[in-house]
Structure 1
Amino acid sequence: MIKVTVFRENDRIKAFELSGHAESGPYGYDLVCAGVSAVSIGSINAVLTLCEVDLDIEQGGAGGYLYVAIPGSIASKKMERVQLLFEGMLISLSSIEQEYQQFITIQDK
């Protein structure tokens, strides 16, 4: 199962973590894993490119691990844009969770 954990402070996303594998299909044909990967990596790339924010990113390992932290020292306008893009990511991940809840779970902390 893919576990998505969103860390918030004052109702704003501070960081998020994805871990695990959906195992909803054979390796290379796992649509849930592909969807989650596309949504999360696409959102990260959008923040990096459109907002020009250096995110703290840790990824790798056989466990399907990704951790992204937003620096606290970015300008307010930029932070609003980052928040909007990552909230959009969470809406897309929630859509996947609604359809495939046996393979993905999302929680806020």
Structure 2
Amino acid sequence: MIRITITRTESGTIQSFTMSGHADFANHGEDIVCAGVSAVSFGTVNAIEVLTGVVPDVKQGEGGFLECVFPENLSDANEEKVQLLLEAMVVSLQGIEKEYGKHIKITFKK
């Protein structure tokens, strides 16, 4: 199962997200759940970097591990753009979770 944790600040903005695990929906290379989650998460991080110039602290590891921590004290304009892209990522991931809930679990924490 892919486990995703979205960490929000007290004000509700997304500060970071982590994901780990494998969907085990299908064989390696044919797993649409894994491919979808990867495309959404990496696409979001790439879009943030290209469209805003904000570069998160990204760590990758074994077992599908990905951690992205976003800088604090961004300009209001960049903060708004980054948060919009991150909220769009959450909506997309929740859509995958709704359809394939046995293979992906999203948790929110503050």
TM tier, smaller: over 0.9
Aligned to 2:88: 88
**Structure 1 runs, 4 residues or longer, greater than 4 Å off:** none
In structure 2, runs of 5+ residues without a counterpart are none
Amino acid at match of 2:57: D
Q: Distance in 1 between matches of 2:49 and 2:33?
A: 24
Residue 5 of structure 1: SS of its match in structure 2?
strand
Q: Distance in 2 between matches of 1:59 and 1:75?
A: 27
Query: How many percent of aligned residue pairs carry the same amino acid?
Result: 45
Residue 14 of structure 1: SS of its match in structure 2?
strand
Q: Normalized against structure 2, the TM-score is what?
A: 0.96
Amino acid at match of 1:72: E
Amino acid at match of 1:64: G
Shift of 1:103: 0.1
Q: Distance in 1 between matches of 2:44 and 2:103?
A: 21
Aligned to 2:6: 6
In structure 1, runs of 5+ residues without a counterpart are none
Comparing 94-103 and 72-81, the one that deviates more: 72-81
Q: Distance in 1 between matches of 2:99 and 2:21?
A: 18
Shift of 1:76: 1.3
- Deviations 1:46-91 (Å, cap 9, x if unpaired)? 0000010011000121x10000001002111101100000100010
Residue 18 of structure 2: SS of its match in structure 1?
strand
